[in-house]
Amino acid sequence: AQSVTQLDSHVSVSEGTPVLLRCNYSSSYSPSLFWYVQHPNKGLQLLLKYTSAATLVKGINGFEAEFKKSETSFHLTKPSAHMSDAAEYFCVVSDRRGGGNKLTFGTGTQLKVEL
Amino acid sequence: ETGVTQTPRHLVMGMTNKKSLKCEQHLGHNAMYWYKQSAKKPLELMFVYSLEERVENNSVPSRFSPECPNSSHLFLHLHTLQPEDSALYLCASSHGTGTEETQYFGPGTRLLVL
């Protein structure tokens, strides 16, 4: 079975400082991994995804994530936070089993950006 | 915008009402999904349709009834709901159902059951 653990339910940073949102996964197969962002009263927007190509994945809005198989981690980073980054972030794993695209979501990390 | 629209955006209904949620995708995808997002809980997959056939039913109570008349439209028919069914219901679509496929989400319908 696959699972995702987002280690922090809330993260608070100052504008202009780095962002680190942590995610660990468990999967019996070679996984695909995603980060989605959800702004208030909006749906989920894809930030980036890993699908067994380069382990360092670059996404939109300056975000990137590194797939580390030995640590079973897929942490999301950004060098400099902006006020507009305040939102909820979800780490997601998708198993490479037969039978379809089954995503397992983490519980989310709420990012707060302060002046 | 992601190319996936949902209506209505907000819905309040009593436990004896019957209502339907609608999802439409303008991306040319052939797989569509319903998710439930409750407070303090991870997103839960409810149903998956691929090429208009249901391929996944994740132990969802029968008071939720999905319908996929074509690859662009997906409905969720609701009847005799319970207060614990209050949640944000999200629709998503993808090009296929392979595990590398990206799912694109709509803005959701916020449902309150009284």
pLDDT digits (tens, 9 = 90+) for A14-32: 999 999 999 999 987 778 8
For residue A65, count other CB atoms closer than 10 A to its CB.
26
Q: Hey, of B1, B32, B99, which one would you mutate to test binding to chain A, going by the most A CBs within 10 A of its CB?
A: B99
**Token output for A95:** 């198993």
B45: chain A residues, CB-CB within 8 Å: 102-103
Cross-chain residue pair A32–B96, CB shorter than 8 Å: no
Contacts of A78 (CB under 8 A, 6+ apart): A18, A19, A61, A62, A63, A64, A85
Q: Which residue has the higher pLDDT, A95 or B69?
A: B69
pLDDT at B72: 94
Give the per-residue SS3 of chain B.
CCCEEEECCEEEECCCCEEEEEEEECCCCCEEEEEEECCCCCCEEEEEEECCEEEEECCCCCCEEEEEEECCEEEEEEECCCHHHCEEEEEEEECCCCCCCCCEECCCEEEEEC
B101: chain A residues, CB-CB within 8 Å: 101
Instruction: Please give the single-letter amino acid code of residue B93.
Output: S
Give the SS3 label for residue A3.
strand
Contacts of B83 (CB under 8 A, 6+ apart): B15, B113, B114
**pLDDT-based confidence at A98, cuts 50/70/90?**
very low
B102: chain A residues, CB-CB within 8 Å: 34, 46, 49
What are the distances in angstroms from CA A59 to CA A7, A50, A103, B11? 21, 10, 19, 34
**pLDDT-based confidence at A96, cuts 50/70/90?**
low
Phi, psi of A109 (to 5 degrees): -125, 125
Q: Average pLDDT for residues B70-91, to the nearest whole number?
A: 94
Q: Hey, of A67, A101, A109, which one would you mutate to test binding to chain B, going by the most B CBs within 10 A of its CB?
A: A101
Q: Is the pLDDT of residue A100 over 60?
A: no
pLDDT at B90: 95
The chain-wide mean pLDDT, for chain B, equals 90
DSSP A55: S
